[in-house]
Structure 1
Amino acid sequence: MSRRSSNQLVVPQAKAALDRMKFEVAQQFGIQLTEGYNGNITTREAGTIGGNITRTLVQLAEQQLGARR
Structure 2
Amino acid sequence: MARSHNQLQVPQARAALEQLKFEVAQELGIQLPADGYYGNMTTRDMGSIGGTITKRLVMMAEQQLAGRF
TM-score interval (norm. to shorter): 0.7 to 0.9
- Unmatched tracts of structure 1, length 5 or more: 1-5
Runs of 4+ residues deviating >4 angstroms: none
- Unmatched tracts of structure 2, length 5 or more: none
Offset at residue 34 of structure 1 (A) = 2.4
1:23 is the counterpart of 2:9: no
Name the structure 2 match of 1:61: 61
The residue type paired with residue 46 of structure 1 is M
How many residues get paired? 64
Offset at residue 33 of structure 1 (A) = 0.5
TM-score (ref. length: structure 1):
0.87
Offset at residue 40 of structure 1 (A) = 1.5
Offset at residue 25 of structure 1 (A) = 0.5
TM-score (ref. length: structure 2):
0.87
Name the structure 1 match of 2:43: 43
